[in-house]
Structure 1
Amino acid sequence: MNGLRRPSWWAVLLTLAGTLLFLHLGVWQLHRADEKEEILRRYATAATAPLRDFAAVADAPPNDAFARVQVRGEYLSDRVYLLDNPKHDQRGGVEVFVPLRIAGSDQLLLVDLGFLPGNGTDQAPQLPPLASGEQRLQGLYLPPPGVGYEMGGNALAQQAHWPKTTIYFDAKQFASDLARPVYPLVLALDADPASIYVREHTLDFSSMPPARHRAYAFQWFTFALAAVVIFVVLHRRRKPNRRHSKSTDSP
């Protein structure tokens, strides 16, 4: 400390507080990166996981895994929903959701049939007819997609004809529109080469992937180092000017 001037208490406090804050934010970003990588790992392994009965996980899905389930039910084929402009298609298109009525349950299960690519126009793609009668379905029981922003209120309530289109997924709005409760998660069907729908379900971390969290962590750690460096530079003892010393010592 001989090379430093005695700092004021507020300078020490400010530097210490800023450094600790920056370090805390950097560590938090690293933890978020690790959490998202773990979620992506669990999601990747879920595609080949053994099938479970839907009733076993319907209301209490596991917190540490994505359940792959099988379920039997009947489509409400006259109640189709189109989630407009999903991010994975440059030509436009819609993600198609249909309620499934399950025997013995008052709740409806929203089934994600997959993505229907657009034709480069503003018109919605032509929907193929849905299978009638009881269906045996299997797929991942997932949280609803975080797509779009709610603008102008409940878009579903403002439409009188089906299929209904929305850019914002809200399970409560679907339940209100159907006048029936819906399950908290949706069923994303397994890929089917024979289907017209594109089923490439991915978790949407595009806006903040793990790599970006680590980049932010590096930034915060750099700020912490900069705060210490600035403190040292501002309180470093300056060597006396030799010319000034000689002039004051001469008679």
Structure 2
Amino acid sequence: MSGFRRPTWWALLLTLAGALLFIRLGVWQLHRADFKEALLRRYAASSSAPLQDFTKVAANPPADRFPRVRVAGRYLVDRLYLLDNPKHDERGGVEAFAPFALPGQKSLLLVDLGFLPGNGTDQAPELPPLPTGEVTLQGLYVPPPPTGFEMGGDALARQTRWPKTSIFLAPAEIARDLGRPLYPRVLALDADPASIYVRVRTLDLSSMPPARHRAYAFQWFSFALAAVVILLVLHRKRDRRRP
């Protein structure tokens, strides 16, 4: 170490604290990547899992699993909602959601009916009628679609006719619009060859997929290395040569 000056205690402390913080953040990002990969595997395995009673998981679904459930009730056939920003194809289209009432329950279950492809125009596709009597549904009990910032606030409150359309479907806005509470998750119906709806079920982690977590981890580890390099560069001895 003859080529370096002895750093001050505060420089060492600051560098050590910064490097440890960056390393800890990098390790945390790696753990998040592993967690989301495991989540994707569980989601893929859920489609073939045995059916269970909806009432057992309705109010408190497991945070790291996606139960496949069976539930009986009636659609609110005149209260449909359309999500106008699904990323299924280049022709556009909508994801259709319908409230579902269970016997004797105040809370409503929001049912993801599936995706209706568009025809390349701004006109919404025609929705097939829903059954009016009691039906039994089965599918995955999954988190609601991700939301974001919507210009102009609650778009549902400004619409007076159904189906109502929005680029985001916030459960709180739907519950307020219906005047009844919603269950914390959505029922994504199983695929049905006879249905006009396209039901390709994937877990939406586009905002932060595992690969992005690993990229952030590399970034934090790079910061830790940079902190050490900066300390060494600032305390390198310089040659003082006489003219």
Could you tell me which amino acid in structure 2 is paired with residue 130 of structure 1? L
Q: Where does residue 139 of structure 1 map in the other structure?
A: 139
Distance 1:93 1:182 in 2: 25
Q: Cα distance, 1:148 vs. partner?
A: 4.4
Q: CA deviation at 1:117?
A: 1.1
Provide the C-alpha distance between the structure 2 equivalents of 1:160 and 1:219, rounded to a whole number of angstroms.
49
Equivalenced residues, count = 243
What one-letter code is carried by the residue in structure 1 that aligns with 2:9?
Answer: W
2:211 maps to 1:211 = yes
Tell whether the 8 Å contact from 1:80 to 1:162 is kept in structure 2 after alignment. Answer: yes
Asked if 2 retains the 8 angstrom alpha-carbon contact of 1:29 and 1:213, the reply is yes
> Are residues 1:227 and 2:227 paired?
yes
Using the TM superposition, give the Cα deviation of residue 59 of structure 1 relative to its aligned residue in structure 2, in angstroms.
1.0
33-42 or 226-235, which deviates more: 226-235
CA distance in structure 2 between the partners assigned to 1:137 and 1:33 by the alignment: 33
The residue type equivalent to 2:56 in the other structure is A
Measure, in 2, the Cα distance between the counterparts of 1:107 and 1:230: 58
CA deviation after TM superposition for structure 1 residue 11, in Å: 2.3
Aligned counterpart, 1:158: 158
Say which SS state the counterpart of residue 183 (structure 1) adopts. strand
Distance (Å, rounded) in 1 between the aligned partners of 2:226 and 2:70: 55
The range that moved more, 168-177 or 231-240, is 231-240
Residue in 2 that maps onto 1:124: 124
How far off is 1:2 after superposition?
Answer: 3.4
Q: Secondary structure at the match of 2:25?
A: helix
Q: Give the TM-score, by structure 1 length.
A: 0.91
Residue identity matched to 1:10: W
Inter-partner Cα distance in structure 1 for 2:130 and 2:19: 60
Report matched runs for 1:60-71 at 5 Å.
Answer: 60-71=60-71
Q: What does residue 97 of structure 1 align with?
A: 97
Superposed displacement of residue 196, structure 1: 1.1
Deviation, 1:135, is 1.1
Matched residue type, 1:81: Y
Name the SS of the counterpart of 2:184 in structure 1: coil
**Residue aligning to 1:180:** 180
SS of alignment partner, residue 124 of structure 1: coil
- Give 1:203's aligned amino acid: L
Does the aligned pair in 2 maintain the 1:141–1:188 contact within 8 Å?
yes
TM-score by length of 2: 0.93
Contact 2:147 2:170 in 1 (8 A): no
The letter of the residue matching 1:181 is P
Q: Is residue 33–residue 214 contact of structure 2 (8 Å, CA) maintained in 1?
A: yes
Q: Which amino acid aligns with 1:44?
A: A
Counterpart-to-counterpart distance in 2, 1:11 and 1:99: 61
- The whole-number CA distance in structure 2 between the counterparts of 1:124 and 1:99 is 20
Deviation at 1:10, TM superposition (A): 3.3
Mapped to 2, the partners of 1:182 and 1:5 lie a distance apart of: 65
- Point out the structure with max Rg over C-alpha: 1
Gaps of 5+ in 1: none
**Between 148-157 and 111-120, the greater mean CA deviation after superposition:** 148-157
Q: Are the equivalent residues in 2 in contact too, given 1:148–1:169 (CA < 8 A)?
A: no
Q: Measure, in 2, the Cα distance between the counterparts of 1:58 and 1:211.
A: 32
CA RMSD of aligned residues (A): 1.6
Q: What is the CA distance between 1:80 and its match in structure 2? A: 0.7
Q: Percent identity?
A: 70
2:33 — aligned with what?
33
Counterpart CA distance in 2 for 1:74 and 1:227 is 61
Q: Distance in 2 between matches of 1:35 and 1:88?
A: 26
Where 1:19 maps in the other structure, the secondary structure is helix
Query: Structure 1 runs of 4+ off > 4 angstroms?
Result: none
Query: In 1, distance between residues paired with 2:63 and 2:205?
Result: 18
Quote the Cα distance in structure 1 between the aligned partners of 2:201 and 2:77: 22
